[in-house]
Amino acid sequence: MRALVTGGAGYIGSHTCVALLEAGHDVTVIDNLCNSSEVALQRVQEITGKPLAFIPGDIRNPADLDQALGGGKDAVIHLAALKAVGESCERPLDYFDNNIGGTIALLQAMRGAGVNTLVFSSSATVYGEPDTVPVTEDAPLRVTNPYGRTKLVMEDLIRDACQADPAMSAVLLRYFNPVGAHPSGRIGEDPAGIPNNLMPYVAQVAVGRRERLQVFGGDYPTPDGTGVRDYIHVMDLAQAHVRALAYGQAHTGARAINVGTGRGYSVLELVRAFEQASGKPVPLDIVERRAGDVAALWAEPGLAGELLGWKAEKDLLAMCEDAWRWQCANPEGYATAGRSGQA
């Protein structure tokens, strides 16, 4: 299958490209490199021994999209989005422009190119503060931050596009919390600037790149007072995209599917697991809650098993071990190999 991966040079995108190439698909990536590195794509090709095509461009630019979709594509995996909850509260307009505007442009370009299959990178943030956990796909959707709002609007846009075109198929993968790295240590999460997500921050503290971890909130109604999340290994998540691509080719309409492990871990549990994996202490301070965060959120992933034949395989220790291997091999991320783009 000929697949276009938007945002394919990023953290989730690069790992998904590995899974796609290993499954025998032809891969083209479009990425504006605003928070990613072309080095990741070079390493994807080293890991797999297979080539991919790269188009440095922005999905909001019709000319770039026309080039990316040229030559015939069978499907699009849409990963191009800004994704930090805290940052979205500070820069909501940037998130609306990039995430929502980019999705509208992509849907228009897909329609023009006759590409009808889409796998969309959605998020568990669309559930907001859930009534109960684990959360199922039919739970109420109510966002608590601008990032989550963009994902919900993007889902609605895609559903409407499918409703208007009976030939269109879309799988809306609601990610929980992707962490870890490829077992080779060659690709991993490399945020520009101060990490907005927990695992890379913990890893940078353990490797000595940062002094202490700030834990946002120690007074949540959880067993140890810190937020509880469903952490999923990024390679398990990558495999979910491969399965979703096959499902999308065989079905029409839009379907939302949770992608998680079905188990929640607190911030402190993750920190302790990372200390075990790395053999390094992770000093921390508990500070005020962060705007837009919820107390506890983890998945009921049964629908992914039923429809995609997919289930998460790797546990929290494996996630930490792989993240640590990546961090040790790349203490400054891709910077020593030459980072493209900007923070």
Burial code (b: 16+ CB inside 10 Å, e: under 16) for 116-130 equals bbbbbbbbbbbbbeb
Q: What angle do CA 28, 78, 71 make, to 5 degrees?
A: 35
The residue-averaged pLDDT of 96-112 equals 98
**Average pLDDT over all residues of the chain:** 95
175 annotated active-site: no
Q: What angle do CA 281, 286, 288 make, to 5 degrees?
A: 155
76 belongs to a structural domain: yes
Tens of pLDDT, residues 30-74 = 999 999 999 999 999 999 999 999 999 999 999 999 999 999 999
Assess contact for 148 and 125: CB atoms under 8 A. Answer: yes
90 belongs to a structural domain: yes
201 belongs to a structural domain: no
Percent of the chain predicted with pLDDT > 90: 90
Tens of pLDDT, residues 180-238 = 999 999 999 998 888 888 999 999 999 999 999 999 999 999 999 999 999 999 999 99
The residue-averaged pLDDT of 252-264 equals 98
How buried is residue 165: exposed, middle or buried, by Cβ count under 10 Å (0-12/13-18/19+)? Answer: middle
Catalytic residue among 95, 147, 175, 220: 147
**Range of 143's domain?**
2-181+230-262+295-312
**How high is the pLDDT of residue 340?**
38
What's the domain count of the chain?
1
Tens of pLDDT, residues 2-33 = 999 999 999 999 999 999 999 999 999 999 99
**How high is the pLDDT of residue 338?**
45
CATH code, domain with 48: 3.40.50.720
71 belongs to a structural domain: yes
Q: How far is CA 41 from CA 45, 112, 186, 189, 329, in A?
A: 6, 28, 11, 13, 17
The DSSP H or E segment spanning 239 is helix 234-250
pTM for this prediction: 0.95
Residue 155 has pLDDT above 60, yes or no: yes
343 belongs to a structural domain: no
